[in-house]
Amino acid sequence: MAGTGEVWPQLFKQFDNIHSVIAVDISTGMHEKAMLRLHKHRNHKIQFVEDDILKSKLPKNSADFVISTFGLKTFSFAQQAKLAKLVSQTLKPGGVFSLIEASDPKGWWLRPFYRFHLMVLLPIIERIFLQGAKDFAMIGKYTDNFGDITQFAKLLHEEGLEVNQTKFFFGCATGVSGKKPLNHPNRP
Ligand SMILES: C[S@@+](CC[C@H](N)C(=O)[O-])C[C@H]1O[C@@H](n2cnc3c(N)ncnc32)[C@H](O)[C@@H]1O
């Protein structure tokens, strides 16, 4: 769910030994525009694959790392389970992963204001200033349905991965990161 690859600059800045990234997204248009506008000088390092990630045939035990930002929240439990399996299969033993998603900050005293921001303000701002865009029309609903990353973290754990969960900004986003153990059963 690479989208416009907002995270790639940080990735290449922090890890200058990254040789190439395989970016998977179901939408080619988004990727092409992002490559022209944001990533011209690093396009030799990005290989794009147009695919539904849930049907992906990425080679097993092939990736040093898997990352995904803000692509999980529309997935059902069954789809999250497929994705967890794919992450586990695609990583090399010893490979690492990190995923983050917008979440419902349950228990935070400012949660009602945050929800108002997601449900009402963001869609209005989008309607007024970004004519035609519908990126934020459903974000409140999706975030409500998603909850947080706990369920996905459990699925990754069940796939035999080592898993750590992190809360960002009082739980407005949650992340899961970790590693495929060297002795994972589906090593090559
Ligand atoms: C909210 S955007 C996140 C984009 C980017 N990761 C970011 O942080 O800016 C979600 C992306 O997931 C892609 N997407 C949704 N369902 C997908 C699927 N089943 N397979 C591959 N990509 C998918 C969409 O095309 C979109 O680019």
Nearest CA to ligand 1 atom 18: 52
Ligand 1 centroid, distance to 183 Cα (angstroms): 31
Q: Which two tokens stand for residue 1?
A: 């769910």
Kindly list the protein residues whose Cβ atom lies closer than 6 A to any atom of ligand 1: 1-4, 6, 24-27, 30, 52-54, 69-71
Pocket-testing residue among 6, 26, 143, ligand 1, by greatest number of atoms within 8 A of Cβ: 26
Q: Which residue from 21, 125, 1 is spatially nearest to 73, judged by alpha carbons?
A: 1
Q: Look at residue 128 in the predicted model and tell me its pLDDT.
A: 87
CA distances from 71 to 2, 79, 95, 110, 148 (A): 8, 12, 21, 25, 13
Q: Look at residue 130 in the predicted model and tell me its pLDDT.
A: 83
Series of mean pLDDT values for 10-residue runs along the chain (188 residues)? 92 92 92 87 92 94 96 96 97 97 96 94 89 82 95 98 97 98 86
Q: Look at residue 93 in the predicted model and tell me its pLDDT.
A: 96
What are the extents of the domains in the chain? 52-179
CB contact at 8 A, 83 and 53: yes
CB contact at 8 A, 149 and 171: no
Nearest CA to ligand 1 atom 12: 1
Nearest CA to ligand 1 atom 14: 1
Ligand 1 centroid, distance to 53 Cα (angstroms): 9
Ligand 1 centroid, distance to 109 Cα (angstroms): 30
Q: Look at residue 131 in the predicted model and tell me its pLDDT.
A: 77
161-139-119 Cα angle (round to 5) = 135
Pick the atom of ligand 1 nearest to 56's CA: 20
Q: Look at residue 77 in the predicted model and tell me its pLDDT.
A: 96
The CATH homologous superfamily for domain 52-179 is: Vaccinia Virus protein VP39 (3.40.50.150)
Ligand 1 centroid, distance to 1 Cα (angstroms): 3
Ligand 1 centroid, distance to 69 Cα (angstroms): 8
Q: Which residue from 142, 164, 145 is spatially nearest to 153, judged by alpha carbons?
A: 164
Pick the atom of ligand 1 nearest to 68's CA: 6
Ligand 1 centroid, distance to 121 Cα (angstroms): 23
